[in-house]
Chains A and B, each alone.
Chain A
Amino acid sequence: MHTQTLAQLSKALRDKRISSRELTALLLDRIAAHDDSLNCFITTTPELALEQAAAADARIAAGEATPLTGIPIAHKDIFCTSGVRTSCGSRMLHEFVSPYDATVVARLAAAGTVTLGKTNMDEFAMGSSNETSFYGAVQNPWRSGLVPGGSSGGSAAAVAARLCPAATGTDTGGSIRQPAALTGVTGLKPTYGRVSRYGMIAFASSLDQAGPITRTAQDAALMLAAMSGFDERDSTSLTDPVPDYVGELAQRIDGLRIGVPENFFDAGLDADNAAAVREALAELERLGAKLSAVNLRNVHLSVPAYYVVAPAEASSNLSRFDGIRFGYRSARAGDDLREFYMRNRGEGFGQEVKRRILTGTYVLSAGYYDAYYLQAQKVRRLISDDFAAAFKEVDVIAGPTTPTPAFPIGQKMDDPVQMYLNDIYTIGANLAGLPAMSVPCGFVDDLPVGLQLIAPHRAEGLLLRVAHQFQLATDWHTRQPAAFA
């Protein structure tokens, strides 16, 4: 049963072939059996899960179920969950129990999902390997000793290991798509503003966006439909109505114009990874799509621009973690206010978070603001313009999600620039606010690699449709890591 997709489980629940309580108990057992080795979960919530499952069963019995009613899922530990620890992967919030639910959590709960627990992540979502977590690294289910990617590494690994059919993630520079690619699952970052940011602990507010991590595009459509929509508590949330994502999936993609950014296939891309992506593009062509080259000429500037804008916003967003109202307070914090701040923040935050706070503080400082922050905003505009120009010629852009498959734990921790380059293909969509997905498209040395699809603003429906049609024609997304069969 645990190998079934969300859509299949939804049907099984409504056909009464299994109850939500049985399904929940089964997945809780799998988590208990496997999570010691994987370290996907920071917190499990078995009591809450069984309570929600019982309510879901009642709702199903009453004939009031949505497609998500009774489906057990996991939330990235960046989403505030009322009455449950919300750590954001940090010592700073190790003991923080949120007094409220994030909008994403509340909407999924209202649809009837069951919360199994909170998944591991890079500290404050800052990382591409899940190694910066206060709770330790997550193992890649495909091979122990390798990273699952990050920052939504716990969510991706949990879905890949079939510990849950779906999980929430957040993506600021690739944090849904990159771990999805590295663990062989499907990940969607929606258009900026499509999903409310309320209750999602902010990393870089102008880039952060929540989305689903699932095994199939169809499941992603089901999750996104429940997660998205205008929220009056988020001023940047989109007001347009949510389209029928599931309804659009069945349309074929004959004649669809797909743009291929040739500079995504330069020397930085692993040759075998490139070959797998090329083969996926050929498959899309066989499905009737027309391929053409597009030029995203400024994309090489996306990493440096991102590593100015994101830390700048983060340095300000993380100022509230001062140990006064909530969060870590050092036992050694003395009477002096300056000392108090330095102890709480110095001990509460990890290395990578501190690196980014320092970087962000620097680029916003008097005398450096114009040279860094303003310059990066200009580059951001250029990158957006490149995408806008490309979307005059093509409907969707397709290419690699990551330069390489999963890499060993520890390999890049001492080299932040190498680590940051993991996100070279994904960051552009965040800077431009575009929806983007990663779908499994092959294997290199028995490790999964991802195909990235990028669409114009608000075109999640198109993105999901292309991914679904690709998944109807391929079986990469059905492969599962043998150790977690």
Chain B
Amino acid sequence: MDWEIVIGLEIHAQLATRSKIFSGAATAYGAAANSQACLVDLGYPGVLPVLNAEVVNMAIRFGLATGCTIADVSVFARKNYFYPDLPKGYQISQYELPIVHDGQLEIVNGDTRKTVRIVRAHLEEDAGKSLHEDFDGRTGIDLNRAGTPLLEIVSAPDLRSASEAGTYMRRIHSLVQYLEICDGNLEEGSFRCDANVSVRRNGDTKLGTRTELKNLNSFRFVEKAIEIEAQRQIDLIEDGGKVVQETRLFDPNRSVTRPMRSKEEANDYRYFPDPDLLPVQISAQRIAEVRNGLPELPDAKRDRFCSEYELSAYDADVLTAQRALADYFEAVVAKTSARPKIAANWITSELLGALNREGLDVGASRIDAPALANLLDRITDATISGKIGKEVFDAVWAGEGDVESIIDERGLRQITDTASIEALVDEVLAANPGQVEQYRSGKTQVIGFLVGQVMKASKGKANPQQVNTILRDKLGPTQ
């Protein structure tokens, strides 16, 4: 039996404001517990929320970048429930009238391109954190995160595989960083995802019962969790069981999903418009101002890279997938005399290879853009060969020094002095009379072997073009 997997994602992007969504407290990560929670965040008697105008601009940026309708009027609503890390006993969110809605995003997954609908994106405040360890069986509450602004981005159930979901999540991750509205830091929880997963038999038009996988905080976990959950549902149905609508957690250590609560409680959040906050009104003028301030978006950047730098569509795609990588590329191009295509090759192969090996972001690269530009310049001006360039790259990466000092100290400069190369060529010709004879009798392809021998004798430092020319001169004409 063939099954179709149906997935919708709810992505929580923490907006990169300096202060909270409804108070003036700071949002910096990693401060001492409860040191960044003011009376408003603590839900003290009598305090009132005041909307941080910057979060509205950030939501508009996202809406514009995804073709969403920006609501003239949107409304904050209270989502009521009791939990110790929710100080007011309600979360201020948006319910019936979100700030932006009905947009879309195109993704490319393997060979397929598809448009994923974005149902809505709404503003809300984050809750605090409950810490269940290190308190002798009691629970600690850290309210630093309470009131941190979030944009919840809700996709339609348009995704059909774990890998598509991963691609969509990466695309949103890239976009919010392009827009400078989220730092995209998955480890610190600035970018999290819930996945709604259901399965149905191929050809069925009705959606199956879905489960919600909560708090997936890496691309790999999203893909893995969806795969495992979809398989669980398929196995369950094939064994004659039924999927129960519930919230589940992914346990990456055991590669299983399990229900979040032992006793599933039907929560009634009793949403109603928050009377402490006025409806958010957004004028056409404000939208125009935000539009004017939008940075270049990934698609436009990709097209420009193709035309301006004469890159292949593939290279342009890879380089523009992350804004930081695109910026890195342009910083290298601006500094080096090497052709952009050369820079692109080095970045997509050497740099990304090294970053991936160590699981680093481009921001944490051990070789910065000026250093790479420097390296490419030395290759372009023939100070070193491309092959030696890779050795220098590895040495810089390993922290053994800068480009120039590594070239100098290791004597990696290319040999371009004709007399030295002639001497090496003479040695090689004298040592290989058989190959010389073959060449002269017309088997000219042995020149490759002779070039190799000269390069070996020079420890790779001889200029290959020069070696070739001198060899041909000395070998003379063939018969």
Interface residues of A (CB under 8 A from B): 79-80, 86, 88, 93, 96, 98-100, 102, 197-202, 204-206, 232-236, 312-313, 315-316, 318-322, 324-326, 337, 341, 361, 364-366, 369, 373
Contacts and interface: CB of A to CB of B under 8 A. Distances in A.
Contacts of B272: 312-313, 316, 364, 369, 373
Contacts of A312: 272
B458 interface: no
A202 B277 CA distance: 14
A364 B272 CA distance: 7
Given A316-B89, A322-B89, A80 B42 contact: no
A319 B278 contact: no
B46 interface: yes
A263 B358 CA distance: 80
A449 B136 CA distance: 62
Contacts of A313: 272, 275
B276 A316 contact: no
Contacts, number: 96
Contacts of B45: 80, 86, 88, 93, 96, 98, 201, 320-321, 326
7 contacts: A80-B46, A102-B46, A316-B89, A321-B45, A322-B84, A325-B87, A364-B80
B337 to A, nearest CB: 55
A82 B42 CA distance: 16
Contacts of A321: 45
Contact of B50 (A80, A200, A235, A369): A235
B84 A316 contact: no
B67 interface: no
Q: Main secondary structure on chain A at its contact with chain B? A: loop
B78 A316 contact: yes
B205 to A, nearest CB: 28
Q: B45, B87, B268, B270: which has the most chain A beta carbons within 10 Å?
A: B45
Given A86-B45, A198-B48, A320-B43, A337 B84 contact: yes
Interface of B: 39, 42-51, 78, 80, 82, 84, 87-90, 141, 268, 270-272, 275-278
B270 A361 contact: yes
Given A198-B46, A202-B46, A319 B276 contact: no
B48 A233 contact: yes
A481 B290 CA distance: 64
B412 to A, nearest CB: 64
Contacts of B47: 198-199
B88 A235 contact: no
A88 B275 CA distance: 21
Contacts of B84: 322, 324, 337
A320 B84 CA distance: 10
A457 to B, nearest CB: 16
B51 to A, nearest CB: 7
Contacts of B276: 202, 205, 235-236
Contacts of B48: 197-198, 233-235
Contacts of A206: 275
A447 B46 CA distance: 35
A213 B45 CA distance: 23
B268 A324 contact: no
Nearest to A232: B50
Contacts of B42: 325
Contact of A235 (B78, B87, B141, B277): B277
A433 to B, nearest CB: 12
Given A316-B272, A373-B272, 17 more contacts: A98-B45, A98-B46, A100-B44, A197-B48, A234-B48, A234-B50, A235-B276, A315-B270, A316-B78, A316-B80, A319-B82, A320-B43, A325-B44, A326-B45, A337-B84, A365-B268, A369-B272
Contact of A319 (B49, B51, B90): B90
B270 A200 contact: no
A184 B232 CA distance: 74
B181 to A, nearest CB: 23
B44 A205 contact: no
A201 B275 CA distance: 14
A108 to B, nearest CB: 15
A233 B49 CA distance: 7
B46 A320 contact: no
B441 to A, nearest CB: 93
B278 A235 contact: yes
Task: Sort A-B residue pairs by CB-CB distance and give the 3 closest, nearest first.
Answer: A319-B89, A206-B275, A364-B270
B46 A316 contact: no
B270 A316 contact: yes
A333 to B, nearest CB: 12
A475 to B, nearest CB: 39
B227 to A, nearest CB: 34
Nearest to A80: B46
A93 B78 CA distance: 24
Nearest to B80: A316
A375 to B, nearest CB: 13
A393 B133 CA distance: 68
